[in-house]
Structures are given as C-alpha cells and as structure tokens.
C-alpha cells in the first residue's frame, strides 16, 4: 500500500503539510517526543516516496516507466515549494 506511487506521494505530502500546521509545529518545538515523532514520520514517508521514485520500473508498453519518478518529483517540488 505505502509503496504505490500515488499513496507514497500523498503520505509524504500530507505528513509534510500536517506537521507544519500551527498546533503540531508548536507541539514539536515544545516537546522532545513530538519532535522525534515528527522527524520519524518525515523519514518514514520520505523513504517510501524515494523508494517509488528510484526503483527500477519495467518499460512496458503503456506504462510510465522512469517518467513516473520524474513526474512524482516535479509535482512534489510544486507541493513542497
């Protein structure tokens, strides 16, 4: 589930955005455990996202192949920028 391209992208984007909302952000600044959880969730979702981007994908007729990784990186750059 986590390594499906759209799921990995959504999980990583939502994690990034949710932790930067005022309440979770302030909680992470004030509490060491919340800060550790924040970074663990960044690391976990980033690992899934980059797994999808960097894995070798078969070049089948009609598939996106490596273009999928490029598309995911481009759209995530728009979301995180």
- In this structure, what token pair is assigned to residue 42? 């960044």
Q: Confidence class of residue 63 from pLDDT cuts 50, 70 and 90?
A: low
- In this structure, what token pair is assigned to residue 68? 């999928």
Q: Confidence class of residue 33 from pLDDT cuts 50, 70 and 90?
A: very high
pTM exceeding the 0.85 threshold for the entire prediction: no
Between CA 66 and CA 69 the distance in angstroms is: 5
Q: What is the pLDDT of residues 35-59, one digit of tens each?
A: 999 999 999 999 999 988 887 665 5
More confident residue, 57 or 77: 77
């Amino acid at each position: 589930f986590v390594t499906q391209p759209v799921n990995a992208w959504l999980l990583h984007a939502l994690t990034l955005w949710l932790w930067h909302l005022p309440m979770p952000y302030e909680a992470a600044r004030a509490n060491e455990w919340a800060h550790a959880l924040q970074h663990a969730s960044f690391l976990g979702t980033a690992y899934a996202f980059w797994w999808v981007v960097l894995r070798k994908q078969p070049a089948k007729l009609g598939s996106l192949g490596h273009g999928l990784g490029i598309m995911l990186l481009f759209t995530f750059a728009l979301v995180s920028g």
